[in-house]
Structure 1
């Protein structure tokens, strides 16, 4: 049974299909998104809302919540990254971080899989890194132009397809994919 990936972001859908090496059914119903610092809580609530919005289909319903965590900001923007990006963009985020000496960051993705009658299972992927001093690269989306993963000098946006090899999203989705494969 092919899973349904719920996202309104076509770039994210393509990235996840590349990571998993398979096409996913796709849907973008109106999904309620709670405001919470915990990525897993947000993802669980989105998965439940998505399953309900889709009419409780027999297929696994997959959602994800991801963001960047600035060490200097004690967990922010975190699960609020999307809202920070919409309000001020990456330039604004860099501006707000400009007075901070600590540029360490954590890229986080939590995948939530809702199975009919079985509840919701979550999978977390994290990548340590730092925030660049200026946006770099034309690839990716969201905050990709400012995140430099540990062990690299490139931002996610500069990496192109190489990003999919070991990103926060790749780690979470590969774990979810292995779990789904074991279930048959």
Structure 2
């Protein structure tokens, strides 16, 4: 299934395309003009964003929003700048942001909003780290040059931008982690839908609304997959009997 990723950022589109390939998601990027809700509540923002995008495009799609949270003097994680990170970032820029908050512990969060046409789902992942006193690295985009994720070897702490240059950003990225959740959800839904379609086909056969011709007119020499197991399974679903034995293989 093809999903549309809605974003006006070419850099984000490019990163998403790479990550989606890694997580088995078929993706196409497009831009939809959306007036983002100004709120501190990340989920409320993302749900509103994906709904507006779907109302316009009317195709299965997803949106993504990232935010930073800075540690308070008490040691608790604040809601600043939170869901309004992009607005604060545009006002301050990376240099002033680093000057003001360099050395502070921080948490980077990514949330995806996905709409399949029936329902909206949200997925969230976070990475803890700190703010670099100065911007570092030539790779990445947004605040990649000032965020240092935890989990790296001592004295080798790199920003997301520096990690991207050596091909290691995805190992620490909250965006990669949340896309993995989306990919897993899509696979589960596809399996569930296939099972439902199978049950509906079996019911149609049982009700004699459908007749299945297995192997009619097809040569065994083509060495196509046997229908034996399929017919046996359908017999159990349709008639709730013990395992059905097929006297000879069927081909289709």
| Paired residues, number | 177
The answer to whether the 8 Å contact 2:136/2:146 transfers is: yes
The answer to whether the 8 Å contact 2:145/2:159 transfers is: yes
Q: Give structure 1 stretches of 5+ with no counterpart.
A: none
Q: Give structure 2 stretches of 5+ with no counterpart.
A: 191-252
The answer to whether the 8 Å contact 2:105/2:130 transfers is: yes
CA distance in 2: counterparts of 1:181 and 1:5, whole angstroms: 18
CA distance in 2: counterparts of 1:133 and 1:89, whole angstroms: 13
CA distance in 1: counterparts of 2:65 and 2:48, whole angstroms: 10
Decide which structure has the larger Cα Rg and report it: 2
Decide which of 49, 53, 58 is 2:52's aligned counterpart. Answer: 49
CA distance in 2: counterparts of 1:113 and 1:20, whole angstroms: 14
Does 2:33 correspond to 1:30? Answer: yes
RMSD over aligned Cα, in angstroms? 1.6
Residue 84 of structure 1 corresponds to 88
With normalisation by structure 1, the TM-score equals 0.90
Once the two structures are TM-superposed, the CA of residue 166 in structure 1 deviates from its matched residue by 3.0
CA distance in 2: counterparts of 1:115 and 1:173, whole angstroms: 15
CA distance in 1: counterparts of 2:139 and 2:120, whole angstroms: 32
User: Per-residue displacement from partner, 1:60-89 (whole Å, max 9, x unpaired)?
Assistant: 210011021111372211211111121111
Aligned residue for 1:30, secondary structure, equals: coil
The answer to whether the 8 Å contact 2:61/2:114 transfers is: yes
Report 1:29-178 matches (<5 A): 29-54=32-57, 56-57=58-59, 60-72=60-72, 74-97=78-101, 103-116=104-117, 118-152=118-152, 153-160=157-164, 161-178=167-184
The answer to whether the 8 Å contact 1:19/1:165 transfers is: no
Once the two structures are TM-superposed, the CA of residue 23 in structure 1 deviates from its matched residue by 5.1
Does 2:183 correspond to 1:182? Answer: no
CA distance in 2: counterparts of 1:16 and 1:26, whole angstroms: 9
CA distance in 2: counterparts of 1:133 and 1:96, whole angstroms: 8
CA distance in 2: counterparts of 1:42 and 1:24, whole angstroms: 22
**Where in structure 1 do 4 or more consecutive aligned residues deviate above 6 Å?**
none
Aligned residue for 2:68, secondary structure, equals: strand
Seen in structure 2, the aligned counterparts of structure 1 residues 137 and 23 have a Cα distance that, compared at 3 Å, is farther
The answer to whether the 8 Å contact 1:31/1:53 transfers is: no
The answer to whether the 8 Å contact 1:15/1:164 transfers is: no
With normalisation by structure 2, the TM-score equals 0.67
